[in-house]
Amino acid sequence: MVLGGYTFNYMGIIWMSKIQEKLNGIMDEIQALMESHPRAHLEPDTKIHELMDRAGIYFAHMDDENRDYYQFVQTAIEDEWEWKLP
């Protein structure tokens, strides 16, 4: 059985799907770049733009947390917001 990107076998053991593993890796890279340089996403043709394109391919497979983060980063890019952590 598959639920939210996780697969359960007959004993109830959970493992993450290959798509979720790949997506989480991409999202981790996006987060690291956003937090390391608050204006990285405002520079054209940077790694963050490549990663956002790659993550967008998996949008339908994102859990709520990844989807929210992806959309917020996308808004920061489009509206040219500086990334500031509280």
The pLDDT tens digits of the residues spanning 45-80 come to 889 999 999 999 999 989 899 999 999 999 999 999
Query: Is the pLDDT reported for residue 82 higher than 80?
Result: yes
What are the C-alpha distances in Å from 44 to residues 26, 30, 51? Answer: 19, 15, 13
31: confidence class by pLDDT, cuts 50, 70, 90: very high
This prediction has a pTM of 0.78
Flag whether pLDDT at 3 surpasses 90.
Answer: no
CB of 34 closer than 8 Å to CB of 48? yes
Cα distance from N-terminal residue to C-terminal residue, the chain: 39
Q: What is the pLDDT of residues 4-17, one digit of tens each?
A: 555 555 555 455 67
